[in-house]
Structures are given as structure tokens and as C-alpha cells.
Amino acid sequence: MTSPARTHRDVFGADPAGVWSAPGRVNLIGEHTDYNGGLALPIALPQRTAAACSARGDDLLRIHSVQAGETVEVALGDVGPGSPHGWTAYAAGVLWALRADGCEVRGMDVTVDSAVPVGAGLSSSAALECAVGAAASDLFGLGLLADDAARARLARACVRAENEVAGAATGGMDQSAALLCRTGSALLLDCRDGATEHVPFDLAAAGHVLLVTDTRASHALNDGQYEKRRRACEQAAAELGVATLREVPPGALDEALARLSTDELRQRTRHVVTEIARVEAAVAALRDGDLAEVGRLFRASHASLRDDYEVSCAELDVAVEAAEGAGALGARMTGGGFGGSSIALVPEDAADDAAVAVRAAFAARGWAEPQCFPVTAGPPAARDI
Ligand code: ADP
Ligand code: MG
């Protein structure tokens, strides 16, 4: 990644007022729980999206992305549900959502450059939104980076950008992770009330690493699978007479399953309820330093996502099995599924072997080479320069 400030000068002919950045994320555990009012446990990645930005006095957003390889102009007055199309929606949508929230925001010149793999389930979309949102906050004096409450408000604007302008019906985990995570900690996110807690996550001190595998597989969610899962959860909650599946305690699961109308709803509900319980167990295990238990929970989470929620795919299953076969305490798909990335909890001295095993398993099947890299829990969105 070259300096986004220099690219900005080349594209717009002037220095940016500053550079802001926001991280991608991996979710340690708690998948497909956010839109069920449940618990998730993401960390911020060291990989970040940078946005070199200047404020404008008019209502024009001019935005360049190194990854998209183009510069686009968007009039803020034209931004709204479904408009603009394409990648600029993620940035323009944030300015639109901030205005809708009563913030005085004008146009900007923006240059985006990212080290977060795009479309790999590591949340490049929220990194883009939150980098632009952080810049807008500082450039227009909104104070939305000041504390966790202000950051949560900015996260909500970024969620609206993604849901309403970009039209991607995701939950709120990604934006909360990008804005609220802390170095060396995982973020326990309660999606029922937005409450957060920071859980120590320093694997190096315990002689372990978290290995991410970007499978480079992408069986797009565009065929409506994500929406289908959300609707199934809503229907299950409606049949059970609760607002969300969060309201089903693990102890009442069997009784709830018996009341549901179809096997599909039973499978989806079993995943959500057991997955939320696994997040609580993982937090307790991390606090106890019991990484073997964390690994066991990763395995159970993956099996549940594969068999009950049916959002895994061959590439994710192979990456998980290969890592476990090479000494990982546990591994699981992370993110929405149908491709994207997996994570593995690996003793330091087995990390290279695990990466080699994953690559070999893909090569043996004739699949494109996956990217394996260790990650640590990094800092949230901030001004860099
Ligand atoms: P993920 O968030 O897991 O990477 P998404 O499908 O949610 O995958 O978001 C990817 C989309 O976000 C891209 O298709 C593009 O529209 C937009 N995007 C993310 N990062 C960039 C970037 N650096 N430049 C341009 N667009 C980006
Ligand atoms: Mg995304």
C-alpha cells in the first residue's frame, strides 16, 4: 500500500487535511447471531483501510479507491436508499446517514487504500465506512470518536449506510468492531442492547496464534441465502412468540424446538441458541486462560454452522479440517459464510505446518491458493496523520 496521502495529491492535486483508518475484523465466535439480538466476539485486524480526506465547502463527494481503480463524483443530494450503486455507496451512505442523524456534513475529497482483503469476509465494507465516517467526524467537528458512546453512534450511521444505501442487509457487528475494539482485546458485543465489554485476547503470551485463511472462495450471498437465514430466524421467533431468538434460553431449547413448524426452523434456531451460549463459554474460557476449551468451542461452532445453519462450503470445511489435522486446537469459518475466511487457534510451533497443510489441501483439489496469515487484536478506527 503506497501512502494514501501521496495518491490523494496525484488524484486531486492537493494535500489531504489528514488520513484516517479503520480495521477489518474477524469474529472469534458468535456467527449469525447479531441480527438475532445475540452475542458476538470480534477482534480488530491489523489490516486496515486508510482514507486520505479533505472537507469541501459544497455538497460533492469526490472519491478515489486504489482497489477499485477509479475516481467517482457523487452529489450528496442524490444519495439515498439504493443510490449510488456500487462501491461508492459505502462511503456516500455514511455522509447521508450522518445528515439523517442531524449532523452538519458537507462534501469531501477522499482517497481510499486498503490492506483488508475485499470480499473475504474480513469486513472491508465496514472498514471503508468507518474510515470515511471517522474522517467526516473530525473534519466537520462532530466528535464521534470521542468516547465509546459517540463511536457507537457513528457505528449506527455506518450500519445505515450499508443496510439502506448499499442495500446489504448485514447486522451491526462489523461496524461496532471497527469502531469499538481495542488492541489486545476481543469485543464482547451484546446485540440486544448494544452493550460491550473488552475481553483480554493475547494469544502470543500463551504461546498460540490465530491463523486466518482467506479461502478466496466466493459463493456470493447474492442468491439471497443471507436474507433467507434472517427470515427463517424471524419466523422462528414469531412462532415462539419472542422478539428475537436471543430470548430462548439454552435450557428451554428442546421445548422451543418441539413447538416449531419445520425442520429448517428447528435447525436454524438450534444454531443460534447454542452459538450464543458458546460465546458466553468462550469468554469464560479466555478469562480462565483455557485455550483448549476455546478450541473445542471453535469446533462446535463450525459444526453447527455447517450442519444446522448450512452456511459453510467445501473450501471452508477443508481449511478447517486441514488446520485441525496439523495441530490447531480448533478452527471455524468466520463471517457470513459461503466462502470468505476461516480462523484457527494454533500453538505457535505448529502455525507454519497448519498454513502448509491448508495450502496443500487446496492444491490437492485444484483450488486457487488460499492466503494464510497470523493476526493479533489491533486498535479501532482513528486519525493516523
Ligand atoms: P467484506 O466486507 O467481507 O470484505 P462485502 O461484500 O461486505 O465483503 O464488502 C465488499 C465491498 O465493499 C466491495 O465489493 C466494494 O464495493 C466495497 N469495498 C470495500 N473496500 C473497498 C475499497 N478499498 N475500495 C473500493 N470498494 C471497497
Ligand atoms: Mg462486509
Cα pseudo-dihedral 155, 157, 158, 160, rounded to 10: 130
Distance CA 85, CA 271 (A): 34
Distance CA 26, CA 120 (A): 10
Q: Which residues surround ligand 2, an ion (CB under 5 A)?
A: 123, 125
In this prediction, residue 325 carries a pLDDT of 98
Cα pseudo-dihedral 36, 41, 43, 44, rounded to 10: 20
The bound ligand whose nearest atom lies closest to the alpha carbon of 119 is 1
Chain segment 21-55, per-residue pLDDT in tens: 999 999 999 999 999 999 999 999 999 999 999 99
In this prediction, residue 370 carries a pLDDT of 98
Distance CA 165, CA 96 (A): 9
pLDDT confidence tier of residue 64, bands split at 50, 70 and 90: very high
Among residues 161, 114, 167, 104, the alpha carbon closest in space to that of 136 is found at: 104
Distance CA 29, CA 40 (A): 6
Q: 350 alpha carbon to ligand 2 midpoint, in Å? A: 30
Q: How far apart are the first and last CA of the chain?
A: 16
112 lines ligand 1 (CB under 6 A): yes
Residue 166 predicted with pLDDT over 80: yes
Q: Which three cell numbers stand for residue 262?
A: 419445520
Residue 199 predicted with pLDDT over 80: yes
Chain segment 94-119, per-residue pLDDT in tens: 999 999 999 999 999 999 999 999 99
Q: Where are the alpha helices (DSSP H) in the chain?
A: 4-12, 88-100, 124-139, 148-160, 173-180, 225-240, 253-259, 263-288, 291-307, 314-325, 351-364
Percent of the chain with pLDDT over 90: 95
Distance CA 378, CA 24 (A): 10
Pairing of strands 39-40, 185-190: antiparallel
Segment 365-374 shows an average pLDDT of 98
Q: 251 alpha carbon to ligand 1 midpoint, in Å? A: 39
| Buried-exposed string 222-241: b where 16+ CB fall within 10 A, e elsewhere | eeebbeebbebbebbbeebe
In this prediction, residue 218 carries a pLDDT of 82
Q: Which three cell numbers stand for residue 93?
A: 451512505
Distance CA 125, CA 69 (A): 16
Q: Do the beta carbons of residue 370 and residue 359 sit within 8 Å?
A: yes
Nearest residue by C-alpha to atom 18 in ligand 1: 125
Question: Which one of 34, 113, 138, 174 is the catalytic residue?
Answer: 174
Q: Do the beta carbons of residue 151 and residue 200 sit within 8 Å?
A: no
Q: Do the beta carbons of residue 275 and residue 302 sit within 8 Å?
A: no
More confident call, 168 vs 181 = 181
Q: Which three cell numbers stand for residue 171?
A: 447486522
Distance CA 366, CA 218 (A): 16
pLDDT confidence tier of residue 1, bands split at 50, 70 and 90: low
Residue 90 predicted with pLDDT over 60: yes
Residue 376 predicted with pLDDT over 70: yes
Walk me through the domains of the chain, giving residue ranges and CATH numbers: 4-201 (3.30.230.10), 204-375 (3.30.70.890)
In this prediction, residue 238 carries a pLDDT of 98
User: ∠239-242-248 over CA atoms, to 5°?
Assistant: 100
The residues pairing with 65 across neighbouring beta strands, listed in sequence order, are: 70, 112
Q: 217 alpha carbon to ligand 1 midpoint, in Å? A: 15
The residues pairing with 187 across neighbouring beta strands, listed in sequence order, are: 198
In this prediction, residue 221 carries a pLDDT of 55
Nearest residue by C-alpha to atom 20 in ligand 1: 124
Segment 336-362 shows an average pLDDT of 97
Pocket test for ligand 1, best of 124, 132, 165, 215 (most atoms within 8 A of CB): 124
Segment 369-385 shows an average pLDDT of 98
Chain segment 247-261, per-residue pLDDT in tens: 999 999 999 999 999
Q: Which stretch of DSSP H or E encloses residue 52?
A: strand 42-55
For residue 320, give Cα distances in angstroms to 331, 346, 376.
5, 12, 19
Q: Which three cell numbers stand for residue 256?
A: 422451543
Residue 222 predicted with pLDDT over 60: no
Q: What is the model's pTM? A: 0.96
Active site residue 174: yes
Chain segment 284-327, per-residue pLDDT in tens: 999 999 999 999 999 999 999 999 999 999 999 999 999 999 99
